Structure 1
Amino acid sequence: MSKKQQPKASPDPVPTSTDWWRSGVIYQVYPRSYADSNGDGIGDLPGITRKLDYIARLGVDAVWLSPFFKSPMKDFGYDVSDYCDVDPMFGTLDDFRELVAKARKLGLKVMIDQVLSHCSDQHPWFIESRSSRTNPKADWFVWADAKPDGNPPNNWLSVFGGSSWQWDTRRRQYYLHNFLTSQPDLNFHNPEVQQALLDSVKFWLDLGVNGLRLDAINFCYHDEKLRNNPGTGEPEASPGTAPSTNPYSWQKHVYDRSRPDALKFLQRMRALTDQYPDATMVGEVGDESGMLMVAKYTADGDKLHMGYCFDLLTEDFNAPYIRSVIDKFQKAAPTPDKGWACWAISNHDVKRVATRWAGQDPRAERLAAALQLSLRGASCIYQGDELGLPEADVAFEDLQDPYGITMWPEFKGRDGCRTPFPWDADKDDLGFSGGKKVRKLKKKAKPWLPVSPAHRALAVSEQEDDPDALLHHYRHLLKWRRNQPELMQGELALLPADGAVLAYVREHAGGRVLCAFNISDKPVKFALPQGLKIAGLLEDSGATGAKAAPKGEKISFEPYGALFARLA
Structure 2
Amino acid sequence: MRDWWRGSVTYQVYPRSFEDTTGNGVGDLRGVILRLPHIASLGVDAIWLSPIFTSPQADMGYDVSDYCDIDPLFGTLADFDALVERAHELGLKVIIDQVLSHSSDQHPFFKESRASRDGAYADFYVWADANPDGSPPNNWLSVFGGSAWEWDSRRRQYYLHNFLPSQPDLNFHNPAVQDWALSVLRFWLERGVDGFRLDTVNYYFHDQALRSNGPLAQKENRPPANPYELQDHEFSKSRPENPAWLERMRALLDEYDGRTMVGEVGDAPHRAVEIMAEYTRAGRLHMAYSFDMLGPEFTPDHFRSKISGFFRGAPEGCPAWAFSNHDVVRHVSRWADHGKAADIAKLAAAVLLSFEGSIYLYQGEELGQLETEIEFHELTDPPGLRFWPDYKGRDGCRTPMVWDNGPHGGFTQGTPWLPVKLPQLEHNAAGQVGQPDSVLETYRAIVAFRQATEALRLGRTQFIDAPGPVLAFVREGDVPVFCVFNLSAKPVDLVIDGLGEGIGPSKAAFDGRKLQLGPNGYAWATTTGEVTIT
Identity %: 51
Residue 492 of structure 2 is aligned with which of 502, 524, 529? 524
1:291 positional shift: 2.1
Which residue in the other structure is 2:531 paired with?
A: none
Structure 1 pair 234–485 and aligned structure 2 pair: CA distance change class (3 A): closer
Residue 293 of structure 1 is aligned with which of 275, 278, 291? 275
CA–CA distance in structure 1, aligned partners of residues 495 and 241 of structure 2: 48
CA–CA distance in structure 1, aligned partners of residues 341 and 32 of structure 2: 29
Residue 204 of structure 2 is aligned with which of 207, 220, 228? 220
Contact 1:26 1:60 in 2 (8 A): yes
Contact 2:280 2:318 in 1 (8 A): yes
CA–CA distance in structure 1, aligned partners of residues 495 and 267 of structure 2: 36
Runs of 4+ aligned structure 1 residues displaced above 6 Å come to none
Which residue in the other structure is 1:191 paired with?
A: 175
1:235 positional shift: 4.0
Determine helix, strand or coil for the equivalent of 1:351: coil
1:526 positional shift: 3.3
Structure 1 pair 33–263 and aligned structure 2 pair: CA distance change class (3 A): same
Which residue in the other structure is 2:97 paired with?
A: 113
Aligned length: 524
1:481 positional shift: 1.6
Which residue in the other structure is 2:505 paired with?
A: 542
Q: Which runs of 5+ in 1 are unaligned?
A: 1-16, 434-443
Determine helix, strand or coil for the equivalent of 1:558: strand
Which residue in the other structure is 2:5 paired with?
A: 21
Residue 116 of structure 2 is aligned with which of 132, 156, 170? 132
Contact 1:167 1:174 in 2 (8 A): yes
Contact 1:235 1:250 in 2 (8 A): no
Provide the alpha-carbon RMSD of the alignment. Answer: 1.5
1:232 positional shift: 2.6
Correspondences of 1:473-484 after superposition (within 5 Å):
473-484=442-453
Is residue 529 of structure 2 the alignment partner of residue 560 of structure 1? no
CA–CA distance in structure 2, aligned partners of residues 235 and 256 of structure 1: 22
Is residue 232 of structure 2 the alignment partner of residue 252 of structure 1? yes
CA–CA distance in structure 1, aligned partners of residues 13 and 342 of structure 2: 23
Contact 2:277 2:311 in 1 (8 A): no
Contact 1:320 1:500 in 2 (8 A): no
Correspondences of 1:265-344 after superposition (within 5 Å):
265-288=245-268, 289-300=271-282, 302-333=283-314, 335-336=315-316, 339-344=317-322
Contact 2:495 2:515 in 1 (8 A): yes
1:527 positional shift: 4.1
Q: Which moved more, 1:212-221 or 1:458-467?
A: 458-467
Q: Which moved more, 1:114-123 or 1:554-563?
A: 554-563
TM-score between both structures, scaled by the size of structure 2: 0.96
CA–CA distance in structure 1, aligned partners of residues 468 and 423 of structure 2: 34
Which residue in the other structure is 1:428 paired with?
A: 407
What are the Cα deviations for residues 334-373 of structure 1, in whole angstroms up to 9, with x where unaligned? x22xx21111111000001111124552222111101101
CA–CA distance in structure 2, aligned partners of residues 116 and 236 of structure 1: 35
Give the AA of the match of 1:22. Answer: R
1:464 positional shift: 1.3
Determine helix, strand or coil for the equivalent of 2:82: helix
What are the Cα deviations for residues 115-173 of structure 1, in whole angstroms up to 9, with x where unaligned? 01001000000000000111111000000000000000000000000100000000110
Higher strand share: 2
CA–CA distance in structure 1, aligned partners of residues 394 and 91 of structure 2: 31
Residue 61 of structure 1 is aligned with which of 45, 49, 64? 45
What are the Cα deviations for residues 433-486 of structure 1, in whole angstroms up to 9, with x where unaligned? 2xxxxxxxxxx5311111122111211111115232110011111112221111
Give the AA of the match of 2:290. Answer: C
Which residue in the other structure is 1:496 paired with?
A: 465
Contact 2:341 2:368 in 1 (8 A): no
CA–CA distance in structure 1, aligned partners of residues 266 and 475 of structure 2: 28
Residue 106 of structure 2 is aligned with which of 122, 129, 141? 122
Which residue in the other structure is 1:83 paired with?
A: 67
Q: Which runs of 5+ in 2 are unaligned?
A: 529-534
Determine helix, strand or coil for the equivalent of 1:154: coil
1:525 positional shift: 3.1
What are the Cα deviations for residues 392-442 of structure 1, in whole angstroms up to 9, with x where unaligned? 0111001000011111101100000000110121x2111102xxxxxxxxx
What are the Cα deviations for residues 494-548 of structure 1, in whole angstroms up to 9, with x where unaligned? 1125321111101112x211101111112223344xxx4112111xx2221x334
Is residue 378 of structure 2 the alignment partner of residue 378 of structure 1? no
Contact 2:290 2:319 in 1 (8 A): no
Which residue in the other structure is 1:264 paired with?
A: 244
CA–CA distance in structure 2, aligned partners of residues 401 and 488 of structure 1: 36
CA–CA distance in structure 2, aligned partners of residues 80 and 495 of structure 1: 46
CA–CA distance in structure 2, aligned partners of residues 350 and 307 of structure 1: 18
CA–CA distance in structure 1, aligned partners of residues 127 and 467 of structure 2: 53
CA–CA distance in structure 2, aligned partners of residues 117 and 295 of structure 1: 20
Give the AA of the match of 1:536. Answer: E
Give the AA of the match of 1:567. Answer: T
What are the Cα deviations for residues 79-127 of structure 1, in whole angstroms up to 9, with x where unaligned? 0000000000100000000000101111111000000100100000000
CA–CA distance in structure 2, aligned partners of residues 475 and 523 of structure 1: 25
CA–CA distance in structure 2, aligned partners of residues 465 and 237 of structure 1: 50
